Structure 1
Amino acid sequence: MLDPVQYALGATSGSIVGLILGLAGGGGSILAIPMLIHVVGLRNVHVAVGTGAFAVAACSLVNLVGHLRVARIPWHAAGWFGIAGILAALLGADLGKRLDGSRLQFLFALVMLAAAALMVRRRFVPLGPASSAKHGSVSRLVGYGGATGLMSGFFGIGGGFLVVPGLVAATGMPLISAVGCSLVVIAAFGITTGLSYALSHLVDWSLVLAFVTGGAGGGLVGLRLRSACAARKGLLETVLAALIAGAGLAMLFR
């Protein structure tokens, strides 16, 4: 049982993650688990993963509400990608629960460093221009969705840094549509992973509520500030990549 200060820290952590998601449009959710471990003080890594999975899903849904105002979501693509990913996320979550907590944390740190590198690469080598949907895109969606869902379930992360490029590669959809589609997929992955951990009694529901409450508030603020910071979006993404890399290195050293 956590003390009131830890729940307050959980709400604060959630607001920071939500603010980052609102401003940058993605990527910040990978910070949820490190903050639950090192800021809130959760000692059980698996509880942090299960709790963080629900937090990631909630933050994605908050940002989805704002995104629906500016872009159409290709539900067909989200469906195929999501269904394949959900099935793979169930397998990934089961594998993650079987792994020792310290090893899981070590692998998660490596994933954070990889995510930071991919974000920087995308910053300087942007995704190609939109094209019409490719033939055989269903098989591509299932393949990319399964691979991303497996990683999402294993580590309890949204995987947005993989979902967006996967959607563009599979269908050629516009980037703004891929971002909106990814929010739907990430929410589905988070709920699936969270439920798997909940069935194993590895979720702190009070902390989920605190984190989600903070994340909702931070996300709404971030959405309102996004237009004002649109010209500096590249800088925001670079700073976010640096934060993720720093958190990953800190976890490795610990």
Structure 2
Amino acid sequence: MLISYSDGAALLSGVLVGFVLGLIGGGGSVFATPLLVYFVGVRDPHVAIGTGATAVAVNALFNLFGHARSGHVKWPCAVVFAASGVLGAVIGSSLGKVFDGQKLLLLFGALMLVVAIQMAFKRPAQTNMDVDMTSVNARAMVPSLLFFGVSVGVLAGFFGIGGGFLVVPGILAATGMPMISAIGSSLVSVTAFGAATAANYAVSGLVDWRVAALLLTGGVVGGTFGGMLAQRIAVRKQTLTRIFAALVAGVGAYVIYRGALVLIRP
């Protein structure tokens, strides 16, 4: 039986998002909402956000297993960051549901431009290879984790994204752990934020479960190939990141353009 255009578009969108996540290691989820609205044809931006958040949460959970097996997750730091961020995600997603859908897309496009600039010009951070939260340093580390966790959670929930590109810098700023540990630890938050956002939208009937399943299926395939390619061209990752940043900026500009057209129409 032939699949419909929307089903095929959802699968391809999942492949693209998963491929970028596997290749770059973060940021691919920012494409989910624009793809669902402008390519798959999901008419309600709120449904697109809720559906995308569902797929992002499950994808992040699968990726978390691999990082956990490799010892890349600093669990005490990750749990504190994620727990505080879930509160922020609930607040942010509740605000997002009642915000005008087209204006939300316009702000989402602006966020994509900010993400692109951040990715294009970021510099390697100073890290402490042995960092972890203990009873000795918890009093100094927990306030920073709580602050960044809630702040990132609000943004992730409001825009319906996993927020990995925000979580990683937040964890680095709060702890100074190595990048690979920050990426692995961030997946705890991305899973939790996505699940909290998806649940909040699902309660209001704003998740298309069929599209979410197709998006997730494509994401598993794309993520597998993206991860394989990343291992082969790891030395060019900075160049790839900048190319990706330019692509995010282009899509962000398009989202702003389309959103502005809708808002200025009489």
Shorter-normalised TM-score: what interval? over 0.9
**1:131-170 alignment, distance < 5 Å:** 132=131, 136-170=140-174
Question: Structure 2: which 5+ residue stretches go unaligned?
Answer: 259-266
- The residue identity in structure 1 corresponding to 2:253 is L
Residue deviations 1:25-44, cap 9 Å, x none?
11111111111111101110
Aligned partners of 1:21 and 1:63 also within 8 Å: no
Structure 1 CA distance for aligned equivalents of residues 62 and 222 of structure 2: 10
Moved over 3 A (4+): 68-71, 131-135
- The residue identity in structure 1 corresponding to 2:85 is G
- Whether 2:106 is the aligned partner of 1:102: answer no
Aligned partners of 2:79 and 2:188 also within 8 Å: no
Aligned partners of 1:22 and 1:63 also within 8 Å: no
- The residue identity in structure 1 corresponding to 2:160 is G
- Whether 2:124 is the aligned partner of 1:126: answer yes
Residue deviations 1:179-226, cap 9 Å, x none?
001112101100110010000000000000000000011111212222
Structure 1 CA distance for aligned equivalents of residues 9 and 81 of structure 2: 34
Q: 3-state DSSP class of the match of 1:68? A: helix
Equivalent residue pairs, number: 250
Q: 3-state DSSP class of the match of 1:130? A: coil
Structure 2 CA distance for aligned equivalents of residues 161 and 127 of structure 1: 14
How many Å apart are 1:58 and its aligned residue? Answer: 2.1
**1:1-254 alignment, distance < 5 Å:** 4-122=4-122, 125-130=123-128, 132=131, 136-254=140-258
How many Å apart are 1:62 and its aligned residue? Answer: 3.0
How many Å apart are 1:75 and its aligned residue? Answer: 0.8
The TM-score normalised by the length of structure 2 is 0.90
The TM-score normalised by the length of structure 1 is 0.94
Which of 1 and 2 has greater Rg?
A: 2
Deviates more, 1:217-226 or 1:49-58: 217-226
Question: Structure 1: which 5+ residue stretches go unaligned?
Answer: none
- The residue identity in structure 2 corresponding to 1:108 is F
Deviates more, 1:22-31 or 1:66-75: 66-75
Aligned partners of 1:62 and 1:219 also within 8 Å: no
Residue deviations 1:136-160, cap 9 Å, x none?
1111001000000000000001111
How many Å apart are 1:78 and its aligned residue? Answer: 0.9
Provide the aligned C-alpha RMSD in A: 1.4
Structure 2 CA distance for aligned equivalents of residues 110 and 247 of structure 1: 10
How many Å apart are 1:68 and its aligned residue? Answer: 3.4
How many Å apart are 1:57 and its aligned residue? Answer: 1.2
